[in-house]
A and B are shown apart, each in its own frame.
Chain A
Amino acid sequence: MDTKPVVVVRDVSFAYPGNSELVLQHVNLAIYEKEFIWVVGPNGGGKTTLMKLLLGLLKPLSGTIEVFGSTPAAARKRIGYMPQAATLDPKFPVTVMDVVLMGRLNNFKAGWYTAADKNAAIHALEQVGLAALQHRRLHELSGGQQRRLLIARALSSKPDLLILDEPTVNLDQQVEQELYRLLKQLNEHLTILMVSHDPAFVSDFVKKVVCVTGTVAVHPTSDVLKEKVGDLYGGKVRLVRHDKHQENNRTYKG
């Protein structure tokens, strides 16, 4: 089932300009078609940096990143991206439809959106169950609906890879479960990479956990679930597991 690699990261290191400290060191990672990847790690561990590298918003200091066989910037058209909801201004005068249509943007395509754009937007809204609310203003949506809207915007460009940044922050459990079911459905057709602090989110459908703490370690979900997931941020469990894995990695590379 796991056949074509969607993302291949080879020996990537990264530091922010003017800062000698490496945020990521010698990262190796492969993501395959229709995988559901859960990216975890402490604040400042490099989760967001890794995501921005995959989106081509940042360039690695060394090493290479391939997305769909080309550079991340060239592959962006095939990536749907959902940012953290907190980065948006809820009072901004836009409707649900306005926001979803942003997923259909092109650089210099002047003028109005086409009928095809609108159909794609409506289809995306139907996928997340928001089609009936397309004329609502952004601030009239509940927290959960806003997350769905951001997912719909990511879907409206018909991507092959969906990257989600903290989709469940500040949601109550029931809404979170709904979102979880939605992503599970989408995963039937899409590769999903999700950054999340939320251990409750991990479940049977997440096949791989990528742990980012300066470097990257990949665990099968079953391993992580054997431990108490909530302890992942307890320090001890994570560090032990992570170090163990790094050693494996080194032997493997050597």
Chain B
Amino acid sequence: MSEFFHAVTHYPFMLNALLTGLLASVACGIVGTYIVSRRITYIAGGIAHSVLGGMGVAHYLQVVYGWEALEPLYGALAAALTAAGIIGWTSLRMREREDTVIGAVWAIGMAVGIIFIAKTPGYSEDLMSYLFGNVLMVSKGDLLIIALLDGLVLIISILFYNQLLAVCFDEEFARIRGVNVEFFYLLLLSLTALTVVILTTVVGIIMVIALLTLPIAIAGRFTRTLWHTMFLSTVLIMFFTTAGLAVSYTPGLPAGATIILVTGIGYLAAVTGIRFFRKSHH
């Protein structure tokens, strides 16, 4: 553990990794709470996997055409927002097709990504870092973008907390109260897209879902209102990402996977702990 603190204070990449984890926790706690309460985890899953397409295309253009400025993170953003738009539009227009469209966006996004990564000259270890995260590789520039996205998610969620809550809780009633349900639903999916992009830098595309759901499930057992859940989840995710980083450092384990494992253990402990507590009190 002391080695970890030494690394954080002496190596910029470790400090960046720690800060990325802490920043990502804010967006993840807030948006994850909306996603879990509204039960649209599978939409978040679809958006997350579609991100690979954007990353693959952006990286290809960078390497093959020399578009240096087009970081994979921008490609990820474009892909995530497009996926959110497509899924949102179909789910509002033709509800029964939603599952199919999510599946299509999910798989086609990955297929596009894999094809472009395969055709990109050079060693394709990037694929692994997209899929499973590369938090130790986060640059100062990435960190700035993550901070900006985080700020955007935070401001929108605070300003429109009431509307987003109402749309998640009872869409029809919100509509009767004059709330533009379509707008706020698409806004929520866009926030989901931004959050997913932030999280892929920490734990990668495939494991995003765990961070978006497990800490919220733990927090939900102790909280009464949505914003309490958001707050407690954020604190929990901060703890899990930091603990995961710390645990992974000395033995040199993959950071993203270790964070997810720590989160999973935390979830199991909370569930069984509560069971045990209830039994001993009844």
B: interface residue count bin: 20 to 34
* Measured CA separation A77–B178 after assembly (Å): 8
In the complex, what residue of chain B is closest to A56 when comparing beta carbons? Answer: B176
- The verdict on B180 contacting chain A, using a C-beta distance below 8 Å, is yes
Please determine whether B166 and A105 come into contact, CB atoms closer than 8 angstroms: yes
Contacting residue for A135 out of B168, B169, B178, B224, CB 8 A: B224
Instruction: Output the least CB separation between A93 and chain B (Å).
Output: 5
Instruction: Output the least CB separation between A140 and chain B (Å).
Output: 9
Given A98-B165, A110-B159, answer yes or no on A93-B225 (Cβ-Cβ < 8 Å): yes
Per-residue contact bits, chain A 38-58, to B (CB 8 Å; 1 contact, 0 not): 000000000000000001010
- The verdict on A242 contacting chain B, using a C-beta distance below 8 Å, is no
Please determine whether B177 and A157 come into contact, CB atoms closer than 8 angstroms: yes
Contacting residue for B180 out of A57, A89, A93, A107, CB 8 A: A107
Contacts of A76 in B (CB 8 A): 176-178
* Measured CA separation A98–B162 after assembly (Å): 9
- The verdict on B242 contacting chain A, using a C-beta distance below 8 Å, is no
Instruction: Output the least CB separation between B226 and chain A (Å).
Output: 5
Please determine whether A88 and B224 come into contact, CB atoms closer than 8 angstroms: no
List residues 85-131 of chain A with CB under 8 A from any CB of chain B: 87-89, 92-95, 98-99, 101-103, 105-113
- The verdict on B133 contacting chain A, using a C-beta distance below 8 Å, is no
Per-residue contact bits, chain A 44-87, to B (CB 8 Å; 1 contact, 0 not): 00000000000101000000000000000000110101010001
Please determine whether B174 and A98 come into contact, CB atoms closer than 8 angstroms: no
* Measured CA separation A87–B163 after assembly (Å): 19
Please determine whether A83 and B224 come into contact, CB atoms closer than 8 angstroms: no
Contacts of A57 in B (CB 8 A): 172, 175-176
In the complex, what residue of chain B is closest to A140 when comparing beta carbons? Answer: B224
Given A106-B178, A107-B180, A110-B160, answer yes or no on A94-B165 (Cβ-Cβ < 8 Å): yes
Contacting residue for A107 out of B161, B170, B173, B179, CB 8 A: B179
List residues 130-186 of chain B with CB under 8 A from any CB of chain A: 158-163, 165-166, 168-170, 172-180
In the complex, what residue of chain B is closest to A110 when comparing beta carbons? Answer: B159
* Measured CA separation A111–B162 after assembly (Å): 8
- The verdict on A153 contacting chain B, using a C-beta distance below 8 Å, is yes
Contacts of B166 in A (CB 8 A): 102, 105
* Measured CA separation A249–B173 after assembly (Å): 35
Please determine whether A107 and B169 come into contact, CB atoms closer than 8 angstroms: no
In the complex, what residue of chain A is closest to B155 when comparing beta carbons? Answer: A110
* Measured CA separation A77–B176 after assembly (Å): 8
- The verdict on A238 contacting chain B, using a C-beta distance below 8 Å, is no
Contacts of A105 in B (CB 8 A): 162-163, 166, 174, 177-179
- The verdict on B229 contacting chain A, using a C-beta distance below 8 Å, is yes
Contacting residue for B170 out of A55, A87, A108, A112, CB 8 A: A87
In the complex, what residue of chain B is closest to A97 when comparing beta carbons? Answer: B225
Instruction: Output the least CB separation between A29 and chain B (Å).
Output: 20
Judged by DSSP, the binding face of A is: loop
* Measured CA separation A103–B177 after assembly (Å): 7
* Measured CA separation A95–B165 after assembly (Å): 12
Instruction: Output the least CB separation between A82 and chain B (Å).
Output: 9
- The verdict on A137 contacting chain B, using a C-beta distance below 8 Å, is yes
Please determine whether A113 and B176 come into contact, CB atoms closer than 8 angstroms: no
* Measured CA separation A225–B176 after assembly (Å): 34
Contacting residue for B172 out of A77, A87, A89, A98, CB 8 A: A87
Please determine whether B162 and A101 come into contact, CB atoms closer than 8 angstroms: yes
Contacts of A77 in B (CB 8 A): 178
- The verdict on B248 contacting chain A, using a C-beta distance below 8 Å, is no
In the complex, what residue of chain B is closest to A165 when comparing beta carbons? Answer: B172
Contacting residue for B163 out of A92, A107, A157, CB 8 A: A107
* Measured CA separation A76–B180 after assembly (Å): 13
Contacts of B75 in A (CB 8 A): none
Q: By CB atoms of chain A within 10 A, which of B159, B166, B177, B229 has the most?
A: B177
Please determine whether B176 and A95 come into contact, CB atoms closer than 8 angstroms: no
Given A93-B223, A94-B226, A98-B226, answer yes or no on A55-B176 (Cβ-Cβ < 8 Å): yes
* Measured CA separation A110–B162 after assembly (Å): 8
Contacts of A81 in B (CB 8 A): 173, 176
Please determine whether B172 and A107 come into contact, CB atoms closer than 8 angstroms: no
Please determine whether A99 and B224 come into contact, CB atoms closer than 8 angstroms: no
Please determine whether B37 and A92 come into contact, CB atoms closer than 8 angstroms: yes
Contacts of B33 in A (CB 8 A): 93
Instruction: Output the least CB separation between A166 and chain B (Å).
Output: 14
The 3 residue pairs across chains A and B that have the minimum distance between CB atoms: A110-B159, A105-B177, A102-B166
Residue numbers of A with Cβ under 8 A of B are 55, 57, 76-77, 79, 81, 83, 87-89, 92-95, 98-99, 101-103, 105-113, 135, 137, 153, 157
Besides A109-B162, A111-B159, 8 new A-B residue pairs in contact (Cβ under 8 A), listed by A number: A87-B172, A93-B220, A98-B165, A102-B166, A103-B177, A105-B179, A108-B163, A113-B162
